[in-house]
Structure 1
Amino acid sequence: MPTLRPLAVPLSCALACLAFGAHAATPKAPATPAKVMSMQEIIDASKPSDWRALDPANTLYMDLANGHRVVIELAPHFSPKHVANARTFAKEGYWNGLAIVRSQDNFVVQWGDPDSDDQAKRKPLGGAIKKLPAEFTSRDASLTKTWTRLPDVDGWAPQVGFADGFPAGHDPKAGTYWMAHCYGAVGAGRNEAADSSDATELYVVTGQSPRQLDRNMSMIGRVVQGMEWLSTIPRGPGAMGFFEKPEQRVGIASIKLASDVPAAERTNLELMRTESAVFKQLVESRRNRRDAFYKVQAHHIDLCNVPLPVREAKS
């Protein structure tokens, strides 16, 4: 009877089998998941170059009669003529002594001349331009250079993101940009005609973002500090939240350009650069919340829910 002999095993296979056997005998330890940074940790790890100082020539200080200050960053690349008028009004003291005339819940707070509809009583416009064009969209090339697009779709614009540090919509086919009506956005009130605003009456969004107003209003900037002093003003009892009696209004002591305020009296702030890598990291941390409280990740963020970090400037 023939003798059965073991099959010869090539050395390479034997070594491989030994390696496999050793691997099987010693299972790999599970990889430690990478630590997810919170928004505050991302901000704390940022570099000075990730921040920009507010330009005093493009910053308004609204000092209310109750002693509170609201800081507004102007947006000349979106509506240059309206911003130019706002600068003129601030330099000439147009808003000094006027008032917040309207507070409509979940919508806007508006300020200006309570007698604006009375030709005999209304405050003169001084050196400002009396007739402005509608500036609903912009083709300013500098907006393209600073454009940071969000990865998510938006119902109000072909693309959304940040341009010149402001939340904005973008139509790449038309080559236009416009500031979005996010919380804190400041626009120029108007009547029915598109070119009926002169930047004397301004409003700030204090409620759920009314994005239907995008591309229908001339936007001049946004509040970067002091929104709590505007969003908590009681609702006006009149139609659309207008105050019916002078004593219901919140007085404005002054609105000045920061560049016209002595350095010692300025509110020195800096904002995170929205074109920086750290800002994109921050956006992603808010798109997909990975801290223990959240059980489901959204893989999406609304433009107006992206935080824009502001901090006291470091000396």
Structure 2
Amino acid sequence: MKHLLLTAAAAVSLILPAFAEEPAAIPSPGEIVAAAPASDWVAIAPSDLLVMDLAPDAKGKARRVIIQLMLAPFSQGWIGNIRKLAAAHWWDGTSVNRVQDNYVAQWGDATEKKALPKGLAVMSEDSYSLALDGITYWESPKTNTTTLKAAWRSPERFEGGPIIRDDSYADGTMFWKGWPVAIAGDTKADEIFDRGKYVWPVHCYGMVGVGRNMSPDTGSGAELYAVIGHAPRHLDRNIAVVGRVISGIEYLSSLPRGTEALGFYKTDAERTQIASIRIANELPTAEQPKFEYMSTKSDSFARYADARQNRRDPFFIKPAGGADICNIPVPVRPVPAK
């Protein structure tokens, strides 16, 4: 009997630690990003970065805003103009002339009298979105309409990144080379790739668009704005999206709100002056900012997107079970110093 009791006690001692172990901690989105391997990050070319230096603040602190320009084939007519404007140093001495609460911060020539560089392109409204048929810019050259249809109907992700089916402004949204884009087609989601297909970049927080007058004017790119409030998705396909702020958004979002209609400033004294705007590769090599984004076709991004849609880390009580495309911001970070 004594032998049996000892054996039973030994067995219990082996079992109890298993019950005493804490469940494995579920990582938060931020922890997933921090743990992503270097291979899951993609460098942003300096030629795709627009560097805006505002006048120093009241305490003399420098204020630099860095914008990543939209990749081809989206909005390339406007982006070509932006490159010409930056090369001509056209924005130097202009200002942030509009800040509307929960909406946008806008900059350009407040007088609307400054001559534009010659040779700027004029775009049509058709360029706000692109036809999906026959395009070749998906992540994999092997991806075609058939595989896209299959990806939409069953898997949660394909080469371009996770697909978000539920959207109030489109038939669906997804990620393409690090950018959030929307798709519209037939009214039935599972027929989206069959006919009437269009794709366009969307207005999330920090996205940069082109100011314009009434249609058919589409704007030249000389007047730009950054979204500093709730995603104004109603602007999608009505205004060109040309980039996103990846650093320094706080220098725009914290500016005093304009007192005139639509948040425009009334006097020059209220405006924040722009010292310079340059494409990053125009700066000396040592001064060029270096950033990278998390590949939206990586396993790390798939886990991150899932975690943003279904928060299971300790603070949360009930996972939402989904997320708007703008609530899954693509991680961007400065390149770690070597």
Task: Pick the TM interval, shorter chain.
Answer: 0.7 to 0.9
Residue 4 of structure 1 is matched in structure 2 by: none
**Aligned equivalents of 1:90, 1:44: Cα separation in 2:** 34
The corresponding residue for 1:102 is 98
Q: Which amino acid aligns with 1:269?
A: F
Structure 1 unaligned runs (5+)? 1-25, 117-121
Q: TM-score, normalised by structure 1?
A: 0.85
2:120 aligned with 1:129, yes or no?
Answer: yes
Shift in CA distance, 293/305, structure 1 to aligned 2, threshold 3 Å: same
CA contact (8 A) 2:87 2:278 kept: yes
Normalization by structure 2: what TM-score? 0.79
Please tell me the residue identity of whatever aligns with 2:246: V
Runs of 5+ unmatched residues, structure 2: 1-14, 57-61, 141-158, 185-192
Is residue 2:137 matched to residue 1:142?
yes
Q: Which residue of 2 aligns with 1:12?
A: none
- Matches of 1:130 and 1:43 in 2, distance apart? 39
**Farther-moved stretch of structure 1 (157-166 vs 233-242):** 157-166
- Residue 200 of structure 1 is matched in structure 2 by 222
Residue among 236, 242, 254 paired with 2:276:
254
**Contact 1:143/1:177 (<8 A) preserved:** no
State the secondary structure of the residue aligned to 2:329.
coil
Partner of 1:291: 313
Alignment of 1:1-315 (within 5 A): 33-66=23-56, 67-77=62-72, 78-116=74-112, 122-129=113-120, 131-134=122-125, 135-139=127-131, 140-143=135-138, 145=140, 147-171=160-184, 172=193, 173-314=195-336, 315=338
3-state SS of the aligned residue for 1:178? Answer: strand
Q: Percent identity?
A: 38
| Rounded Cα–Cα distance in structure 2 between residues aligned with 1:34 and 1:151 | 28
Aligned residues of 1:149 and 1:159 also touching (Cα < 8 A):
no
- Deviation of the 1:222 alpha carbon: 0.5
The letter of the residue matching 2:168 is G
For residue 16 of structure 1, what is the aligned residue in structure 2?
none
2:143 is aligned to none
Q: Matched residues in 1 for 2:276 and 2:108: separation?
A: 12
8 Å Cα contact 1:107-1:207 kept in structure 2: yes
Instruction: Give the SS at the match of 1:142.
Output: coil
- Runs (4+) of structure 1 moved beyond 3 Å? 29-35, 143-146, 172-175
Separation in 1, partners of 2:196, 2:111: 40
Residue type at the aligned position of 2:108 = G
Partners of 1:186 and 1:211 in 2: CA distance: 13
| Max Rg structure | 1
Name the SS of the counterpart of 1:150 in structure 2. strand
The corresponding residue for 1:3 is none
Corresponding residue for residue 3 of structure 2:
none
